[in-house]
Each structure stands twice: as structure tokens, then as C-alpha cells.
Chains A and B, each alone.
Chain A
Amino acid sequence: MNVLIVLIPVSLGLGLLGLAGFLWTLKARQFDDPEGDASRILQDDWDDRPAP
């Protein structure tokens, strides 16, 4: 069972990575406009540098 000493921190680390990713999306205001994001995917204008 000594493998747990490695596995638990690894699984926690992966989870923390996900959490950090989520917090980043939050900070980048990706949840501010769910309706707009749903519509933007339907825009048909070509854009080389899409707005973040």
C-alpha cells in the first residue's frame, strides 16, 4: 500500500490543476455571458484573430 504515498498527492495535484484551470476561466470572465457565447458560435464572419 506504500504506493498510496505517491498516488494520493498525484491525484490531488491533478485535481488542483483542474481547479486552477477553472479559476483561470472564471478570472478571464468566461462565465459572464452564457447566452452570448451560445450565439457567438453561430457567427459566420471569418476572423483571423478571434476576440478572447
Chain B
Amino acid sequence: MSLADISGPACPACVAGPLAAERGRPAAAADEIQLAVPGVHCAACISTIERGLMRRDGVADARVNLTLRRVRVRHHGRETPESLTEALKGLGYEAMPLDMIALSATEADRASRDLLMRLGVAFFAMMNVMLLSVAVWSGAEDATRDVFHWVSAAIALPTVAFAGQPFFRSAWASLRAGRLGMDVPISLALILACGMSLSETAMSGEHAYFDAAVMLTFFLLGGRYLDHRTRAVARSAAQELAALEVRRALRLAGAGTETVAVADLRPGDRVRVLPGARMPVDGTVEDGASELDRSLLTGESLPARIAAGGAVSAGEVNLTGALTVRVTAAGRDSSLARMADLVAVAESARSRYASLADRAARAYAPLVHTLAAAALVGWFWVTGELRTALNIASAVLIITCPCALGLAVPAVVTAASGRLFRRGLLIKDGTALERLAEVDTVVFDKTGTLTLGTPRPVNLDELPEGALPVAAALAAGSAHPLARAVATAAEERGVVPALLTGVKEVAGHGVDGLFDGVPVRLGRADWVGASAGARTSTWLRIGTSAPVEIAFADRPRPGAADLVQRLTETRRSVMLLSGDVAPAVRDFADSLGLADWRAGLRPEEKAAIVEALVAEGRRVLMVGDGLNDTAALAAATVSISPASALDAARVASDIVLLGEGLAPVGEALGLARVARRRILENFWISGAYNVVAIPLALMGVVTPLIAAAAMSLSSITVTLNALRLRP
């Protein structure tokens, strides 16, 4: 199925580094363990995992949940999260214990089941009351009608009292906060419809609105459930991305090292950071020399050199040599945690955004309440009968009840986020689509966002004869990204590496060895004996001949050029903000046809530029991946980050791009516009029904039949309109 698209190279499992085997508390019951398995995506995966786990003696039952990408294992008390993680790794799936998020996950499950149960009860009641109502509409009279009304009341009143609780609770909460949300008119209409119908039934009246009350409850609960479901799936996926980054560190203790969780490190501890690992903490280097990839923090694409005494920050990647680092700040004080605080502040600012539904409710609630009050006063004035006036006022409230309005947004958002999820975009925030639709300015980060952050050699063809096999052989001896790029490129060209002896890596400098007795070196310019240029490059020297330069350029993400072109064509302004040096940024911007770029920016400058744009009234989409983008991501109207981004950046952004290519971003912009149009259309549709029904209600000619017809027709039209969504 098409979900397979997104579980390609950039699926969360592959982004993950070494995984946690942390001892977890059993999640739900004593003999039950839940594990997140982000890599599972098809029927065959389900069979492999379930059968593989069931074969273990200690396992009583294993069940995969594909929607949430989890496996729930019941066992005979002998299994531990570690043993199961190990077993799953043997089956080819990365897994991690869910104990830290299991609590919130089970709560979400419970809420979802609770809503579904209320929905079922409301459906049962609606069908039965409707059957009885059909009899009344088709002319049941006198005692029969009264009996039918009483039976309806006996079904409807408990149903509304039970199934309507989510609305009553949220209405009460918003009233106490002094706001008029959508739930206040809903609750009022429900209560009035029931109360009025009950008193009419007691007086053998003609009209009872029990059917309308239960139908309203059912449709609105349907909208609520859709909304909840979409959010639960997005939340669980986002939590897994975060859980994949459970990070550990090697702490030096006594003679050896021990593996500890990053959270347990204290200032003053000494940790060992191996080549290829990410810095777990802020600290100073005590021993060793290496190079650091700071691109996630600063946007610089060139690795920076580090030796004893230098300062490192959490999030940097150690490239060539092992380092011993003395911790200066860990946990809540580290730069990563400070960034998370910054994100929390930004998110509280973000919640000030009024969604379309809120704006509709704000215009709508006072209007219907005024109309109903006017009907009450007007009819009492004219007829002098309180009963008639009350009946008509309640009819106005019932007929205007925002049944379709309650479905208008969730139906569209569910359809759109499902479609985008299949294309590899995870919508984390309910209003992100609406905000995305309004975007007129797109701001990109360079390294890791528009580019893949992996360099490629560009001048291999210009190398002298015989140089490439030597370079390839030397490069194979290092984990440095530039060396890896040379090795990969040589392999792609079918170059057979030369036979070298005594190859060794000199941390922070390069690799050297002997080729037919001649010393050869591949590494930094000053080490090889050349003078460094402006470009990202490594140098190769064979014997005593002059060093040759191998230059590198970062590769754009697939679809980057198309995306920029598409954005320009749709007359959105596109801007490139990078922390990298000017020449690199200029070359890259030229290659994509981007005129508006700034280089050498610090994180606060990026955020300031984005804030200035927003203050100008522009709707800014920020796409970025690094720590240096986090503040800008939070300041923008709406933000996207790739799954390879740093945790903090992903938390700050509204949408996560799961795949490697950038093409889905363009599609998302298009789809968001369509979705917004559908939402507005839905508002107009439900408004149109009201325009027809309100005058009838005010004139006092609305019957329960008209109310029921208007309500179900408008709800169904709105849902169908939402399903019409096409990018």
C-alpha cells in the first residue's frame, strides 16, 4: 500500500541511531509490554513480527497495531522490554520500549473508545427515536402520539444526558473562562430541545424535538471523533520520532566506561564521545582532537576543528577522533533544553491564532442567541402566550444549531491530513493546514533543509591519472563525511581502490598511508601542505608531488529546484536564510534561481527576520532543520521540518516531512488551499441551510420534520463536500 512510500530511506526507524535498551516499567498490566515499531508498514510486517515473537517461549500473545505502529506483547513474566527489543532487532525491526509515553498513549486510547461508545449509544437512540418520529410525522394522533412521544423521551433524555457530556463539559469550561465557544450554543440547544419537548409532551402538545436532539448529538459526536482520531495518530507518530532519540552517553568511571542515559549526567562528569556520535551535553574537551559537524546548530557546512580546551555544545556531531569531554551543563541547563524552553514560549504565542472554526463560532454564537431572544420577546409581545413564544425561540435555537459547523472543519482536516500522511507529511497541529493555506512568503534554511547536508565531490574528472584509486583507498579508512563522499563517488564510478599499506587516520587532520612505498596523504590543506581555499575541499598528496584539491558541493534535496520554481510561479516570495558563509550560500542560491538570500546569520538574526516579516503582515512558512532555525520556526506563521532535523526543531514545527524529497511541501501548500476553500464552502453550506430555515423558525412554522431534514441534509452535504478534496 502507499504507506510504503514514506517508510523508505527516511522512515523514522532508519533515521534512528543506536536504540535504547533502557529498562522500562511494564506499561499497562504486569505481564504486558508495549513497544513502538516505527518500521512496520504492511501485512507481511505484521506476520513476521507476530509469528517471530510468538515463537518465543515466554510470549503468550503478540499483537501489532499498524495504525499506531506498536506491538503489544503479553508474556508469562519472563520477558523484559530489552529482550523483546533484541528479538525484534533479530527480525529486522528497530523497536523501543514505550514506557515513557505509554501512559499518555493509553489515555488517548481510552478517550477514543469513550467517544466511540457515546457515538454508538447516540446512533442507537437516533435510529429508534427516528422510527417513532416517522410515525408521528405521518399522522399519528392523540393517545398514540403521546405514547410515542413518551417512549421517545424515555430513550432521548438518558441518551442526551450520557452522550452529550463532552459538549456540556467543554461548554461549562468555556463559560467559566468567560468565552462563548461553539459548545455553548450546542449545549443550550440540546438542553432547550429536551426541556421544551418534555413539557410539550406532558401537555399533549403536537411538536416534540427529541429526534432533533439525538441526531444533533450523533452528528456532533461524529465530528468530535474524527478530530480525535486524526490527532491521536499524529501525536503517536510525533512521540515515536522523539522516542527514537533516547540518547545515551559513555561516562568515564574509574578504569572503564559505563553507558548511562543523558539525563543522568551531571556537570563535572567526564564522557567519551566516539567518532560519528552526537554530543550529549555542553562541555569542554579534555583530551583528543577531532572535527565537529556543527551544521545543525549553526548551518555551517564546513566541519570545525576541535582540540583539548575547546568548547562543545549538545547536538554537534563528532566526526573523526574520539574525544573526552568534561560536562559543563547537562539536562535542563544544556543548550538543547534551553532551546526547548524557547519553543514552549513560542508555542504559547502560537496558540493565540484563532482557527477558522473559532472565528465562525465567535460570529455565530451571539447571532443565534440574539435571534432566539428576539423571537421570544417578539412572539410574547404579539400573542401574549409564553408557551408559544418559548416554543418558537427553542425552535430557532434547534434549527440554527451548528451541526454542520461542528463537522465542517474535522471532516476536511481528517481527509486532508490522511492524504498528506500518505505523501509523507505529518500534520502535528490541527490548525496547521489553515495557516499553511494563507502562506505568501516561504523562508528556507540551507544546510540540511534545501540540501541533504551530505557533500559530494565535484571535480573528480579533473584529477591527475591514478590519483582517484589512491584517494578512494585512503578515504575508505575514515568515517569523515568528506572521506565517505570520496569513497562512495569512486565506487559509483567503478574505480578499484589502490592497494595501500599502513593506512591510519590522524584525528582532526586526515588519513595517511604508503602506496608502493611512497607516502600518500588525504586530509586538511595545512596538513597536506597546501593553502586552503574558499571552497569545501580535501587535499591529496602522492609522494612529493604538488597536492591536488578535491572540491565538494552539497547536494540539493530531491525536488528542491522544482519546489522553488513552483513557489515562484505561484507568486510567493521565497527567501534563503543561512548560517553558512556567503560564497557557499550564493552559489547554491544561484543554482536554484533564488534571488533573495542572506548568509552568515546567527539564530537570533534568523528569528528576527522572520518576526519582522510576520509583523509586516506577511504569512510566513519557515522550513528548517537545525537548532539555529528553532527560534525562527517558532516565530513563523507555520513551520515544516524534515524528519532528520534535531528534536528541538521538530518539536517547534507544525509539520514534519518524513521522506527525503521536498516535493510534498509544494503539494501540501496546494492541498492546504483546497482544504481551506472546502472549510469555507462548508461554512457557507451550513449558513445557506440556516438562511432558509431561520425565517421559517421565526415565523413559527418549523415542524420537527423540517428541523430533522435540515439538520441531516446539511451534515451530509458538508461531509460529502469534505470528501471531494483533491490536491
Is A4 engaged at the interface, CB distance under 8 Å to the other chain?
Answer: yes
| Main SS at interface, chain A | helix
Is B68 engaged at the interface, CB distance under 8 Å to the other chain?
Answer: yes
Q: A15-B128, A39-B66 are in contact. Are A8 and B151 (CB under 8 A)?
A: yes
| Cα–Cα distance between A19 and B122 once the two chains are bound (Å) | 10
| Cα–Cα distance between A19 and B131 once the two chains are bound (Å) | 16
Contacts of A22 in B (CB 8 A): 120, 124
Query: A12 contacts B128, CB within 8 Å?
Result: yes
Query: A36 contacts B46, CB within 8 Å?
Result: yes
The contact of A26 among B67, B117, B131, B147, by CB within 8 Å, is B117
Q: A31-B113, A43-B46 are in contact. Are A36 and B67 (CB under 8 A)?
A: yes
Is B1 engaged at the interface, CB distance under 8 Å to the other chain?
Answer: yes
Query: A34 contacts B67, CB within 8 Å?
Result: yes
The contact of B66 among A23, A35, A45, by CB within 8 Å, is A35
Contacts of B124 in A (CB 8 A): 15-16, 18-19, 22
B interface residues, tally (CB under 8 Å): 31
Is B43 engaged at the interface, CB distance under 8 Å to the other chain?
Answer: yes
Contacts of B117 in A (CB 8 A): 23, 26
Query: B127 contacts A35, CB within 8 Å?
Result: no
Which A residues, 1 to 52, have Cβ-Cβ distances below 8 Å to chain B? Answer: 1, 4, 8, 11-12, 15-16, 18-19, 22-23, 26, 31-36, 39-40, 42-43, 45, 51
Interface string of B582-606 (1 = CB under 8 A from A): 0000000000000000000000000
Query: A32 contacts B109, CB within 8 Å?
Result: yes
Query: B131 contacts A11, CB within 8 Å?
Result: yes
| Cα–Cα distance between A43 and B113 once the two chains are bound (Å) | 27
The contact of B43 among A4, A32, A39, by CB within 8 Å, is A39
In this complex, what residue of A is CB-closest to B132?
A8
In this complex, what residue of B is CB-closest to A41?
B43
Contacts of B61 in A (CB 8 A): 51
Query: B128 contacts A11, CB within 8 Å?
Result: yes
In the complex, what's the smallest C-beta–C-beta distance from B595 to chain A, in angstroms?
44
Query: Looking at B61, B120, B131, B132, which has the most chain A CB atoms within 10 Å of its CB?
Result: B120
In this complex, what residue of B is CB-closest to A29?
B113
Give B residues with C-beta under 8 Å from A. Answer: 1, 3, 42-44, 46-47, 50-51, 61, 63-68, 109, 113, 116-117, 120-121, 124, 127-128, 131-132, 144, 147, 151, 155
User: Can you pick out 25 interface pairs between chain A and chain B where the beta carbons lie within 8 Å of each other?
Assistant: A15-B127, A15-B128, A18-B124, A19-B120, A19-B124, A22-B120, A22-B124, A23-B117, A26-B117, A26-B120, A32-B65, A32-B68, A32-B109, A33-B65, A33-B66, A33-B67, A34-B67, A39-B43, A39-B46, A39-B66, A40-B46, A42-B43, A45-B47, A45-B51, A51-B61
